[in-house]
Amino acid sequence: MEIRQDITYNFDFLGMQDPFRLKNMEIALKRIIKAVNEREKIVIYGNCDLDGVTAVSLLFLVLKYLNADVEYFISDDMDDKLNINSRLIKNHIKFLGAKLILTTGCGSQSISQVELCKKLGMDVIVTDYHKYKGVLPRAVVINPNQRSCNYPFKDLTAVGVAFKLSQAISVYYQMKSVSKYLDLVLLGTLSKGIRVTGENKEIVNQGLYHLNYTNNHGFRALLKVYGIKNINRDSIFKLSNNMRLSTKNKRYIDNARIAVELFITENMDRAEQIAKYLKNEILD
């Protein structure tokens, strides 16, 4: 299967690095194309922080746009190494009929967990940004911080790496609208509280532009519920802080899953209901 890289890059890539410079990107793309075209079940697996929520939402929306058979799963048990959870694989994801698991922001040290997935007939693509010790699992790993990866910008977040994968997907399927998802990348990136430099600066600047014209019902509901009239870096950084899901709240896992629903819903009334609920829950 030949991956088309001769397509002229459009606005989505201005000021950003070529996603195919990330190690294993072409291998990951070939596997995703197979899953999409053959209607294999894809499960996106992510963490419960806002970076993870936006990364899961982004990949879900992109794959749904391609009419893929896709579901998502927010983990309720991430250890210090941000490993995939074996219990969840055996007791939940296996029963979804998954053939391909895409992780977001986790999995670079999940050696035994990936072996379990393989034993159960599931391939794994790890998208991550964390530095790691030791060897990588026997999976397709996309991580700018893995050894021998020549990608020049090393400070992408989970949703940033997920967007690079989305860019690669958009090249193959000639998706001209992938840049509209930069509103999600913006929110997830700012939620990490990191210095906005390099490619992250482009993500934030372009994300702010697209957020002004967003058709994402979840974002439109958030802007309304939080009374945000001027969209700028400060107002969206404040929104990301307000949306941080506190682990002190026993319902934070449920709230993370509900937050994904906020960003992927196609119903504006439901989006407003979720936005109001999350605002009240998080502030309590």
16-283: in CATH 1.10.579.10:
no
pTM assigned to the model: 0.93
For 146-194, give the DSSP string: STT---S-----HHHHHHHHHHHHHHHHT-TTGGGGHHHHHHHHHHTT-
Residue 67 pLDDT: 97
| Long-range contact pairs involving 207-210 (C-beta distance under 8 Å, separation at least 24) | 207/182, 207/183, 208/232, 208/233, 208/236, 209/182, 210/179, 210/180, 210/182, 210/183, 210/186
**What are the residue ranges spanned by the domains of the chain?**
16-283
Q: What is the pLDDT of residues 225-281, one digit of tens each?
A: 999 999 999 999 999 988 876 555 555 667 889 999 999 999 999 999 999 998 887
Q: What is the pLDDT of residues 177-202, one digit of tens each?
A: 899 999 999 999 999 988 899 999 99
